[in-house]
Structure 1
Amino acid sequence: MHIHLEVTKKNLVVLDATKASVPKFLNFLGAELNNK
């Protein structure tokens, strides 16, 4: 059970990082498309 909780915490951190990077990635894509 304890190990499961640790894994879940790590997954939440990864999920937060992914959520934070997606808008940046979309902004980058939008800028690239506007340049072409």
Structure 2
Amino acid sequence: MQPDTTTLMLPWYIWWIMIVGLFLMTFIGTWLITRRWSE
């Protein structure tokens, strides 16, 4: 019996959305922190 790969592997666009979302969150987070520290 082979495990269903569709339940384990997400579609490529969902992975891209997650990666881009994490990158934007970290970028905006560091930008806000630097702005707070500079002021």
Same fold (TM over 0.5): yes
* Unmatched 5+ stretches in structure 1: none
Question: How many residues get paired?
Answer: 34
What fraction of aligned residue pairs are identical, expressed as a percent?
0
Task: Report which of the two has the higher share of helix.
Answer: 1
CA shift, 1:9, in A, is 6.3
Runs (4 or more) in structure 1 with deviation over 4 Å come to 7-10
RMSD, aligned CA: 2.2
The TM-score with structure 2 as length reference comes to 0.58
The TM-score with structure 1 as length reference comes to 0.61
